[in-house]
Amino acid sequence: MQYRRLGNSGLQVSQLSLGSWVTYANQVNVKAAKEMLALAADHGVNFFDNAEVYASGKS
């Protein structure tokens, strides 16, 4: 995985991110979502796009 510095924060974030908006309307069940998160993290992803408004707070 390649990383980039996030502004002047000193943080290094992965060039790839995993978005969680796909949980909208139960498109992905909880088990599959957890597996995807774990797989992404295992491969170096540390940038996750998540928001309380995604899937009514279930993302």
Sketch the domain layout of the chain as residue ranges: 3-57
Q: What is the pLDDT of residue 25?
A: 62
pLDDT tier at 5, thresholds 50, 70, 90: very high
- pTM as predicted: 0.77
Q: What is the pLDDT of residue 52?
A: 78
Does residue 24 have an active-site annotation? no
Selecting among 27, 29, 54, 55, the annotated active-site residue is: 54
Query: Residue 22: phi, psi to the nearest 5?
Result: -70, -5
As a whole number of angstroms, the distance between CA 33 and CA 39 comes to 10
As a whole number of angstroms, the distance between CA 59 and CA 52 comes to 7
13-48 tens-digit pLDDT: 999 999 887 655 677 888 888 899 999 999 999 999
